[in-house]
Amino acid sequence: MERDNSGSYIPPAVSRRKETTLLRAKSTLHITMSRNNKHTFNPSTSIPSLAWKAILITGGTAGLGRETVLAFAAHEPARIFFTGRKKIAVDKLIRQIYMQQPTT
């Protein structure tokens, strides 16, 4: 029987869920340390496979939202949903995604 820090019994199903959640968290984002001890993040190598994933991004037609949509699209998720205020910006972003990632 597994117990938490307070000595209470943890049912096996809950314990397995915690382990699964920790494993997912560890495999989701890999941040490496560079020589000068600063965190580096490279979307092309740091984002794991997004196959079978659905993603929702708010503000996806400008700024960080737009770059996030483009970075995630490169990893070919099952679906990307994003919001935008201007239809012209939405259409332009969709065209750009299809030009960069024709299989998406």
pLDDT digits 0-9 by tens, 11-53: 555 444 444 444 444 444 444 444 555 667 787 888 888 889 9
Do residue 51 and residue 100 come from a single domain? yes
**What is d(CA 41, CA 61) in angstroms, rounded to the nearest whole number?**
22
Do residue 18 and residue 51 come from a single domain? no
Placement of tokens 């919001």 in the chain = 83
**pLDDT tops 90 at residue 88:** yes
Q: Is the pTM of this model over 0.95?
A: no
Give the domain extent around 15: 1-30
Per cent of the chain over pLDDT 70 is 62
> Is 37 domain-assigned?
no
> Is 36 domain-assigned?
no
**What is d(CA 3, CA 96) in angstroms, rounded to the nearest whole number?**
52
Do residue 19 and residue 65 come from a single domain? no
**Count of domains forming the chain:** 2
Do residue 70 and residue 99 come from a single domain? yes
What does the pLDDT read at residue 40?
75
